[in-house]
Copies of this chain bind each other. A is one copy, B any other.
Amino acid sequence: VSGGNASSAESYTGTERILAFSDGVFAIAITLLVLDLVPPRVEHGVVDKLLEAWPNYLSYALSFFIIGILWASHHQMFTQIKRSNHVFLLINIVFLMWVAALPFPTALLAEGLSHYDAVGRQAVVAIYTGMFLVGALLFNLEWWYAIYRGRLLGEGADPEAVKRTTRSYYIGPVAYLADLALSFVSIEASLVLFFLLALFYAVVPIPVVYRTIAGRTGIRKNRIIKD
């Protein structure tokens, strides 16, 4: 009966435009990556030049794949989030700001590993892994805001599935924090762990991972209740 209620009714909207806008930003950020691949400007020894540039192709493929996986994770998050409000919009904008900025630390890493001195190389690896720590925290923040007291969930949301997803999302910040710390010990080890994490997120959708881990460690309660 209060103005506040009228305001809530107004400010909770669907997620269609957020998804359309987010898909656009992901699609553009991912497609701009090709601008870093340019043909060698030589006449002779082209094949050698092309073979030497293998880190560039690897960087393109890896960055494309990582942004693609992020898009898929965002996609998956919105199978449970069905409404939106102004604060959620803002959090999503900050998350997209992070997505759209990814080409910069990626280019910095490529430049750094080829041309920077030891201090610079350590710095770019720390920046790169730190960037993903920030992204994992933003991703969790977006999710936490949406599920707090079921704020933005769909009507038929399963509380156990939501809890499971929440716990599975903890993996990201913990893993990237470890990777950032590792970068101060060995940049090679840090990069290997980073690649393994990308592979992990690619191969296994998060809820399945959690369920498998939970199953092995005996925390099967959720599944049983669910069944």
* A35 contact set on B, CB distance < 8 A: 32
- CB < 8 Å: which of B27, B43, B111 contacts A24? B27
* A64 contact set on B, CB distance < 8 A: 93, 96-97, 100-101
Complex Cα spacing A37 to B10, Å: 38
User: For the complex, is A143 an interface residue (Cβ under 8 Å from B)?
Assistant: no
* A94 contact set on B, CB distance < 8 A: 65
> Contact: B24 with A34, CB < 8 Å?
no
Count of residues in A whose CB is under 8 Å from the partner chain: 79
> Contact: B120 with A43, CB < 8 Å?
yes
Complex Cα spacing A202 to B93, Å: 10
Closest chain-B Cβ to A89's Cβ sits at a distance in Å of: 5
Complex Cα spacing A96 to B34, Å: 12
Chain B binder among A132-140, A177-185, A186-194, A204-212: A204-212
